[in-house]
Amino acid sequence: MEIVGYLASIIIGLSLGLIGGGGSILAVPILVYLFHVHPEQATSYSLFIVGMTSMIGSYSHYRLGNLKIKSALVFAIPSILSLLFIRKMVLHLIPDSLFYIQTFEVTKNLVIMVVFALLMIATSISMIRKSKRQEEQVVVNFKMLAIIGFLVGLIIGFLGAGGGFLIIPALLFFANLPIKQAVGTSLFIIFINSLIGFGGDLIGGVHLDFKLLFLISFMAIIGLFIGTQLSKKIDGAKLKPAFGWFVLVMGIYIIAKEIIFK
C-alpha cells in the first residue's frame, strides 16, 4: 500500500499546481488510509507537506507576477492567529472518546475524518458548479477578506488543511483577483499558514516519521511541477469540475468507511 500511497501523493501537488488548492483534502485521507497515520497526527503531516509544496509553487507564481502580497497578508495574518489558537489551545483539550450513540462510539478521530469528508463534499460542489463571478467588480473588500481569513484559520487548525479550496473563492470575490493571481496568492497564504501551524505542532512535541514526511513531500513537489505545466495547457473551466467529482467520490467514501462500514 505504501507504493500506492507515494504515487497518490503526486496528486497532492498536482491539485495545488493546477487549481491552487485541494492538497490537504487529499493529503489527510492518503496519510490515514494508505500510510496508516493516526488522523490527528496526519493533520501535522499534512501541514508540512502542503506548506512545502505551496512554498515552491508560490515562488513560481511570484516570478510570473501572479502573487499579490497585500491581499495575501490581509488574509494570512488573522488566519495565522486563529490557526495557532486552535492548534495550541483547543485541539489537545478534546478527549479521544466524545460520546456513544447506543453502542457506536463517537471519537475525536472519527469527527476529524467526517468533518473533513463533509468539507470535501461541500468543496466538490463549489468546484462542479460554474462560477458566476462578476468580472467588472474592482473594489477590494479588505475587511471581509480578513474575516474570511480568520474563519479559514479555524478550519486549517482543526483539520490540518491548507484551505486553498476556501482561500481561492475569497480572493476571487473579496480581493477581486483574476484566477491566475488568485491561485498564486492562495499558494503563498497556504505556505504561511501551513508551516506556522506545523511549527506550532513541533514546539508542542508532536512525534513524526521524518523519512516518510520528506518522501511524501518530494512526491507532492513532483506533482506540483506536473500540475503547473499542465495548467498552461488545460482549460481551468474544464479541469476544476473534473477534480470536483473526484473529491466528491473521496468524501463519500470516507463517510461510508468511517460510519457505515466501520
Q: Write down the pLDDT at residue 115.
A: 81
Question: 88 or 70: which carries more pLDDT confidence?
Answer: 70
Q: Write down the pLDDT at residue 86.
A: 84
Q: Write down the pLDDT at residue 27.
A: 86
Q: Write down the pLDDT at residue 236.
A: 58
Residue labelled with grid coordinates 468511517:
258
| Grid coordinates of 7 | 504515487
Average pLDDT over residues 48-76: 88
Average pLDDT over residues 167-183: 78
In degrees and rounded to multiples of 5, residue 64 shows phi and psi of -90, -5
The answer for residues whose C-beta is within 8 angstroms of residue 191's C-beta and 6 or more apart is 51, 54, 55, 57, 58
Q: Within the chain, what is the greatest distance between any pair of CA atoms?
A: 57
User: In whole angstroms, what is the distance from residue 46 CA to residue 33 CA?
Assistant: 14
pTM above 0.85, yes or no: no
Average pLDDT over residues 14-39: 82
Q: Write down the pLDDT at residue 134.
A: 47
Instruction: Classify the C-alpha dihedral 23-52-209-202 as positive or negative.
Output: negative
Considering the chain, what is the average pLDDT of its residues? 82
Average pLDDT over residues 101-122: 82
Per-residue pLDDT band for 216 (boundaries 50, 70, 90) equals very high
**241 within 8 A of 127, measured Cβ to Cβ:** yes
Q: Write down the pLDDT at residue 135.
A: 46
Residue 203: pLDDT over 80: yes
127-158 per-position pLDDT tens digit? 787 655 544 445 667 888 898 889 888 877 77
Distance of CA 34 to the CA centre of its chain: 18
| Grid coordinates of 197 | 501551524
